Amino acid sequence: MTLLVFVGSLLGAMAVGVPVAFSLMFCGVVLMWFMGMFNSQIIAQNMIAGADTFTLLAIPFFILAGELMNSGGLSRRIIDFAIACVGHIRGGLGIVAIVAALIMSSISGSAAADTAALAAILIPMMAKAGYNVPRSGGLIAAGGIIAPVIPPSMAFIVFGVAANVSITKLFMAGIFPGFLMGVSLIITWLIVARKDNVQPLPKASAKERVTATGRAAWALGMPVIILGGIKAGVVTPTEAAVVAAAYALFVGLFIYRELKVSDLMHVFLSAAKTTAVIMFLVCAALVSSWLITAANIPAEITGYIEPLIDNPKILMFAIMILVLVVGTALDLTPTILILTPVLMPIIKQAGIDPVYFGVLFIMNNSIGLITPPVGVVLNVVSGVARIPLGRVTAGVWPFLLAETIVLFLLVLFPDLVLVPASWLH
């Protein structure tokens, strides 16, 4: 009955238009009232405790790093570097989009920020070259959602805090699956774009490639510093976020000189607004998380799926399908915060590696960002490139299918996550 009260109050609040953070608080209040333990101090204490976590400091700094990267010219130089390398290949601009997405994913960790930068620069170029515009928008949206899977990932930070799982291990485990997502998109793009009557870009000379590499060197050095520092144990993920923000600020101001002192207030304000939204969600969700545990909801759910506990792969398939369905209606962060405290006890009872589950769980939630009807990243592409949302949605389906196939291949073959992670850790 407590499960019904929790789900009913949460979905009911969201159905009438209550923001997700307030819906989480509301369902917590309803659960407390149902269990006869209402106490407003519990809400306040858990919200304060939710924000009072050193690890969560990484979120505002990685958000700031992404804002500085886009404003300071790092994103554009990464795209120019990719164009110089593969832009001349037939279908090359699509490959450029994915190569640039992979590099930018290892810097900002924000799907929306990466997608906005790629769409603003590449979609006009792809339209001029003769590519199908909605399909190009769909490709860039699908490439943008690699950001939560490849470190540094804000989604991994939120999941790691909520599930009490090592963020460093999650970072290392996400590298190869993120790369597989990129490869699947390139293969799919080369298949579906064959019919486009395109004009390939002229092949860059060796000198032009060297020049493009030199111009992008400072931007390309950023993921090396972040991941290398974490891997070597020199910095924690939280400290790496501070280094990333400082590095992006320095490069934008003094190396590329595209970031002006007068721009900083706007950049800081934008990062602060995004941080406030995410942190309020985290605080509200931890109230619900505490009450989910107090109400013993995981045990209730375990009772329903007990036949699957002894078969981890079937259990993972069932959970992934559940998350895919939920991801069509909720954004990434709320889905992580709502489902993590419910699912983690079940995962542990079934003997599934929490890091492996975390990677697939975040990948699944990322796919939700390009899944109608919500499709946050689809809305980003639509707004930035001025393409009707319905046309972007139609263009994304081949790439959505490709990434979903990769997800379920990882369910079938867990070693595709665990073995590369063991090499990198």
**pLDDT tier at 302, thresholds 50, 70, 90:** low
pLDDT of res. 199: 72
Owner of token pair 């009807």: 373
The yes-or-no verdict on residue 7 having pLDDT over 80 is no
pLDDT of res. 401: 95
pLDDT of res. 301: 66
C-alpha distance from residue 318 to each of 87, 180, 232, 315, 346 (Å): 41, 22, 37, 5, 12
**Is this structure's pTM higher than 0.85?**
no
Mean pLDDT of the chain: 83
The yes-or-no verdict on residue 313 having pLDDT over 80 is yes
Stretch among 29-43, 201-215, 340-354 having the lowest mean pLDDT: 29-43
- 231-242 average pLDDT score: 82
**pLDDT tier at 303, thresholds 50, 70, 90:** low
Tokens of 357: 């589950």
Comparing C-alpha atoms, which of 174, 187, 96, 190 is closest to residue 364? 174
pLDDT of res. 298: 63
Tokens of 72: 């300071």
Stretch among 41-50, 233-242, 373-382 having the lowest mean pLDDT: 41-50
Which of 72-76, 254-258, 389-393, 413-417 shows the highest mean pLDDT?
Answer: 413-417
pLDDT in tens, 82-107: 888 887 777 788 888 898 888 888 77
Rounded to 10°, the helix 312-327/297-309 angle is 130
CB contact set of 377 (below 8 Å; sequence gap of 6+): 111, 112, 115, 141, 144, 145, 369, 370
Task: Tell me how long the chain is.
Answer: 425
pLDDT of res. 414: 92
Rounded Cα gap, residues 148 and 205, in angstroms: 34
